[in-house]
Amino acid sequence: MIMTDFQDNARAALIEFVEQNPGGVLASHPQSGDFPEAAWIDLAVSATAGGGEPGEIVFGTDRRSRKALNIGARPEVSLVVVSGRGQEIQVEALARVLGGEDSARAGEAIAAAHPEGGGDPDYVCVVGLEPKWVRWVDMSTMPPTMQDFEV
């Protein structure tokens, strides 16, 4: 992946990067207190209902977790995904708990991307991210590159 991918279609490039690197650190606003909560999450890309869009970034969590409670109170989150090869994306997004067909489709994508995952099915909720802003960083180039994109 190179920066021109983001310049041509930032949303599609973001989706492709997450498909290739399906995990990251999500930071959410706490319900109370001064410090944000950050946690590793397993990511997946779920197909959209119409199939015309490049997909939706999704993850599963326990509805009793701090991140789920935080998202319920304030949907603004930040996400960092790294490639391990010098590239990373930083994302600002709105998070929402999915329901119905969207939840089922996302759950299938998460299970396919992370077959070792799971959790108590009585408490799992599926969350979709709506990216608003992305920063692409590539430290493998000389000079290193960084650029911001509205999504």
- Distance of alpha carbon 26 from alpha carbon 61, whole angstroms: 12
At 20 the three-state DSSP class reads helix
Residue 51 pLDDT greater than 80, yes or no = no
Number of domains making up the chain:
1
Q: Which CATH number do you get for residue 18?
A: 2.30.110.10
Burial string for 121-143 (b: 16+ CB within 10 Å, else e) reads eeebbbbbbebeebebbbeeeee
Residue 6 pLDDT greater than 80, yes or no = no
pLDDT digits (tens, 9 = 90+) for 10-20: 888 999 999 99
pLDDT digits (tens, 9 = 90+) for 130-146: 999 999 999 998 999 99
Query: With a threshold of 0.85, does the pTM exceed it?
Result: yes
Nearest to 61, CA basis, from 31, 10, 95, 84: 95
CA 61 centroid distance within chain: 12
Structure confidence at residue 41 (pLDDT): 97
Domain interval for residue 117: 3-150
The Cα-based distances of 107 to 24, 70, 114, 141 in angstroms read 18, 21, 10, 36
